[in-house]
Amino acid sequence: MILTGTLAGALLLSGCAGAAVTLDPAPDAADPACAPAMVAMPTQLTGLDQRETTAQATTAWGDPAAIVLKCGVHVQEPVADPCVSVNGVDWILAREDDQADPASAASDSPTRATSGSPSPAASSASAGERSEDPTGTWTATTFGRTPAIRVTFDASKVPSSSLLTELDSAVSQIPQTKRCQSVQDLQYHR
C-alpha cells in the first residue's frame, strides 16, 4: 500500500530509530492557543510512544510514525467531508488515499469531496455507515476550534475510535466555538 501526504513523508523520514520526525508546521502553528493543547498531548497514544518532531506545534507517535498531529491548520467552510462528535470534540474526517492529487492530501484544507467511503471512526459511530475497508491514510481535523488541529493516521495500524478518544482531553484545551450539524439537524430546523 502506498501512503500519501504528510504521513508518508513522516514515515519515510522517521525510519531511523530515535531520530526526530521531520515535519513542516501548519500555517498558524505560532498561534498561542496551540501551546496548551500541545503540552497536554499524551506521551502514549493507542499504545504508540510519542516522538520528537522538527516543527512547532506538531507531534507524532510510533516508530516509524503512524500518527502525525499538527496544530494551527485552517478549516475552510462549508465542509463537505463527514463530521462526527467524539466525547464532545467535533472532527472532520477524510480519507487521504482517495485524493486524485496526492499533493492535495498534504494541504491544510480539509474541504475535499468525499468518495462516499465512510471514515473508520464514523463506521464505529453508526452501523449504517460501515465501510468494507476502513483502512488507509485518514485525516481527522477539529471543527469549531481555532486554531484547528489535524491528525493524520494509518487506519490499518491505528484504531481511529481509540485515537480520537485519547486525544479529546488535549484537544479540548482549545475552546469550541461551533458544532457540527448533521443533515437531520438542518432539515429539522427548516
pLDDT digit string, tens, across residues 18-50? 689 999 999 999 999 999 999 999 999 999 999
pTM: 0.73
Q: Which residues contact 59 (CB under 8 A, 6 or more apart)?
A: 38, 41, 50, 51, 53, 68, 69
CB atoms within 10 A of CB 162: 14
| The pLDDT of residue 78 | 86
